[in-house]
Structure 1
Amino acid sequence: MTQADRRDAELWRRCREIAEALPLPEPFEMPALAATLARMRGRPLELVPLPGWSRGPCGILASTDRADYIGYPSDTSVLHQQHILLHEVGHLLCGHTGTTALGSAASAALMPHLSGELIRRVLGRSAYSDHQEQEAELIASLVLQRARHRARTASAATGDPDGRVTRLGSVFGPAPRSNPAGHE
C-alpha cells in the first residue's frame, strides 16, 4: 500500500466515524440537525439563508464568542442547500480553521447585527487546505447518504416502496402540509 493509499484510507475512516457518530433527526431536516449540533456543542448554531448568494462562495462558516453561523444560498435546490450546509458542518465537526477575512458585503449579509471585530473565525471554501476540503466534502456526502438510506427504508414501510416521493422531497423540499382549519 502506498503512502497516498494509506492517507486516503485514513481520510475515509475518519470521515466515516464522524458521519456515523452524528445523530440524525427524524425526519432529516437541517434546522433540527442544527438544534442537535447546538445541544451537543453547548453553543448556538444558526443557519442563515443568503438570497442571491449562489454566485458567491457556496457556504460560509463564521464563529463568534457567542455562536456559530452557517450561511448558505437560498436560491438553489433543497438537496444542494443540504449538501452545502453539511459541508460546513463537516468543517465545524473536524475543528477546521480558516484564514479568510470576510468581506464587508458578506459580513453584512451573514451577520448584519454583528461587528467585524466580534467575528473570530470565518471559513469559506477558499480558506481551507485541500485535505480539509476533502474531509468536509466527504462528511457531507456520507451524512446525506445515511439520511437518504434511512428515508428510503422509511418510505418502503409507509407505502412509497420505490422512494419517488422521498427523492422528490429531497430535491424540492417536503410537500406542503395541509392546514385542516384552512388558515395560513
Structure 2
Amino acid sequence: MSQRSMRALRRECEAGLADLPIPAPFGIPELVANMEAARGRRIVLRELPDRLARVNSACGLRLKAGETSFVLYRRRPTTYQTQHVILHELCHEWFDHGTSLDAEQLRRLLPVFDTSLISRVMESGTTVQARAQYDTHDERVAELGASLIPRMAREVPSDDMVGRLANSLARPVAHRRRGFFLRDFFRRD
C-alpha cells in the first residue's frame, strides 16, 4: 500500500471513529456499553474456548443478527493482542461493515463447527466477518481502527485522580529538543 493510500485510509478511519464514544478510563466493557447506547444494538463478547481453536481458525469473528451482534475471539498470547482482536471486530461493528465471508471461507476458518450450522447461519442473512485475512478495504479499516482506538483513548481527558495522574505523567513538561538544558544555561552568546 502506498504512503498516499495509507494516509487516505488513516483519514477515513479517524473520521469514522471521531464519534466513537471512548470511555475514560478506557476499558473494553465500557467501550462496548457506550457503543450499545450509541447504536441501540446489543453487543455480546465471548471468548472461544481453546478446544474450539485451531491453528488456521479465525482470531476473531463477528456475527450480526437482528438487534444483537456477537463478537467471538480467541485469547492471544498477550493481553494487548487479545484486545487488538476484540477492537478489530468492534471496528467492524462501528463501521457497520457487511458480510465479507462466504460459507466455504467460514468453514475453513471455523472447522470445529458443524457444516449444517454454518449453512443455517449463512442462509439466515446473518452478517459474518472473521479476522483472518486483511486484503479487503473493510479489513484494512478495522485493522487500522483497532490500532487507533487505544491511542485515541489516551487522548480522552479523565476527571478522576488516577486519570489526571496518568495524563500528567504521560505528557512530559517539555520536548527534549525544546526543553531547558544545563548546556543552554551556560551557553555563551
TM over 0.5: yes
Distance 1:20 1:155 in 2: 25
TM-score, normalised to structure 1, is 0.67
Deviation at 1:161, TM superposition (A): 6.1
2:61 is the counterpart of 1:60: yes
Partner of 1:137: 143
Distance 1:61 1:133 in 2: 12
Residues 28-177 of structure 1: pairs in structure 2 closer than 5 A: 28-52=26-50, 53=53, 55=55, 56-74=57-75, 76-97=77-98, 98-101=100-103, 102-103=106-107, 116=121, 118=124, 120-126=126-132, 129-150=135-156, 157-158=164-165, 162=169
Unaligned segments of structure 2, at least 5 residues: 171-189
Q: Deviations over 1:44-82 (max 9, x none)?
A: 111111122473211111111231011111354322222
Q: 8 Å contact 1:65–1:119 — kept in the other structure?
A: no
Partner of 1:15: 13
RMSD, aligned α-carbons: 3.2
What is the DSSP-based 3-state SS (H/G/I as helix, E as strand, rest coil) of the residue aligned with 1:27?
coil
Shift in alpha-carbon separation, 1:43–1:159, aligned structure 2, 3 A: closer
Higher radius of gyration, 1 or 2: 2
Distance 1:149 1:41 in 2: 23
Q: Which has the higher helix share?
A: 1
What is the DSSP-based 3-state SS (H/G/I as helix, E as strand, rest coil) of the residue aligned with 1:48?
strand
Deviation at 1:36, TM superposition (A): 1.3
Distance 2:138 2:166 in 1: 41
Q: 8 Å contact 1:54–1:75 — kept in the other structure?
A: no
Percent identity (aligned): 28
Shift in alpha-carbon separation, 1:140–1:160, aligned structure 2, 3 A: closer
Unaligned segments of structure 1, at least 5 residues: 164-184
Quick check: 151-160 or 58-67, which moved more? Answer: 151-160
TM-score, normalised to structure 2, is 0.66
